[in-house]
Amino acid sequence: MKLNACLLALLAAAPYFAHAEETDAAAQLPDIVVTGERGSRTMLQTGTSHNVFTAPDIDRSGHKLSATDLLKQTVNTVDLGSGNDLPTVRGVDGSGPAVGAVAFFAGTRPRLNLSIDGRSATYNEYAFGTQSLWDMRQVEVLRGPQSLVRGQNAVAGAIVMRSNDPTQEWEGAVRLGAGNQKTRNGALMVSGPIVKNNLAFRLSAERQQRESYEPFVHYDPAGNPRRVENTNIRFKLLFTPESYPNFLSRLTFNYIKSRAPQNEIMGNTASARFLPQKPVFETGSRSGIWDVSWQINDSFKLENKLVYARYDNDRIHL
């Protein structure tokens, strides 16, 4: 009788163990790979203090529209939003030696590097533009010096943004949003094959606009200084020849146009130093990025990146 009871207990427990194994297998998630340090390491293998935001992390909160929204939720980082001052990381001001009008006239290089698909943004792009999160694959925030890895001044750290690549299957997305302070947002994305299993494309575009909460004075030629706008258009071509599976060639074209007040602080209007007419910055960039990769064998891989960018910036004031 004892033997029969043991057999019955094992038979009853067998479905439970099978269900537990299936649950454990289904709960396993893929490793998040950090690429901001010019290598491919998992988060556990990355020694640099970091935060990684994947596409599901961004999509779970519909109000995160720019990198600023992510940095405001990142520890050891202070981001004041659009304006003269770039984020401060671990007490290091990311703005550089000059800000605002001085940076506009004399030029400056930020201490915090912002990279979008491998192209580093200028100070004015970062300060007065909106780094859109639409159709982004991953955003990495690396805290601490990254100058050696990034190839330029990045003593405060680096923000590495990577957009999604074209797909061999058709897909698309549309997003519309509205909010207070005349906030409006519209975005679309379409991706699919041009030549099946060989050549694919991806087109994404987004338009954001809102009004500042500060009651800035309307004046000519700036118009309404409270108006904040951003347009971001990205087009990608991905060539992965079926006959050479270890070869990859990718072209990325990006157009960004932004408009924002110099900062969203009213200042002491009684002082002659602070005029009630707030200066407005209009920034624009057009860039092309060509990535080529060839996996020779398990130990050797050749990669090359060619970047061309054209940038313009206008400061509108009396």
| Tokens matching residue 122 | 């200028």
CATH of the domain at 247: 2.40.170.20
| Other beta carbons within 10 Å of 292 | 14
Residue 1 within any structural domain of the chain: no
Tell me the per-residue pLDDT of 14-39, one tens digit each, with 9 for 90 and over. 454 444 455 555 567 778 888 887 77
**pLDDT at site 272:** 65
* Cβ within 8 Å of residue 216, ≥6 positions away: 224, 225, 226, 261, 266, 276, 277, 278
Dihedral sign for Cα atoms in the order 281, 163, 170, 26: negative
Alpha-carbon Rg for the chain, nearest whole angstrom, is 24
Residue recorded with tokens 């602080």? 265
Q: Is residue 2 part of a domain?
A: no
Residue 44, token pair as written in the block: 């556990």
Q: How many domains does the chain have?
A: 1
Tokens of 106: 């004399």
- How far is it, in rounded angstroms, from Cα 17 to Cα 162? 41
- Do 203 and 252 form a contact (C-beta atoms < 8 A)? no
Q: How far apart, in whole angstroms, are the C-alpha atoms of residue 153 and residue 94?
A: 10
Regions of the chain with pLDDT less than 50: 1-14, 16-20
Cα–Cα distance measured from residue 305 to residue 136, given in angstroms and rounded to the nearest whole number: 19
Query: Which pLDDT score, from 0 to 100, does residue 269 have?
Result: 60
Task: Give the tens place of pLDDT for each residue, 107-138.
Answer: 788 889 999 998 988 888 888 888 899 999 99
Domain that holds residue 66: 31-316
pTM of the predicted protein model: 0.84
Q: Give yes or no for a contact between 55 and 136, defined as CB atoms under 8 angstroms apart.
A: yes
Question: Could you give the CA distance from residue 20 to residue 26 in angstroms, rounded to a whole number?
Answer: 10
Q: Is the peptide bond before 193 cis (omega within 30 degrees of 0)?
A: no
CA distance 83 to 105: 16
Phi first, then psi: give them for residue 108, nearest 5 degrees.
-160, 165
Q: Is residue 261 part of a domain?
A: yes
Residue 58 resides in a domain? yes
Q: Which two tokens stand for residue 30?
A: 């893929």
Calculated CA dihedral for residues 104, 107, 108, 113, nearest 10 degrees: 80
Residue 105 lies in a domain: yes
Q: Which amino acid, 21? A: E
Residue 161: its pLDDT value, please? 93
Q: Report the amino acid identity of residue 277.
A: Q
Tokens of 36: 């901001």
Predicted confidence at residue 146, as pLDDT, reads 86
Helices assigned H by DSSP within the chain: 2-27, 55-59, 67-71, 100-106, 123-128, 147-150
Q: Is 9 left (phi over 0), alpha (psi -120 to 50) or beta?
A: alpha
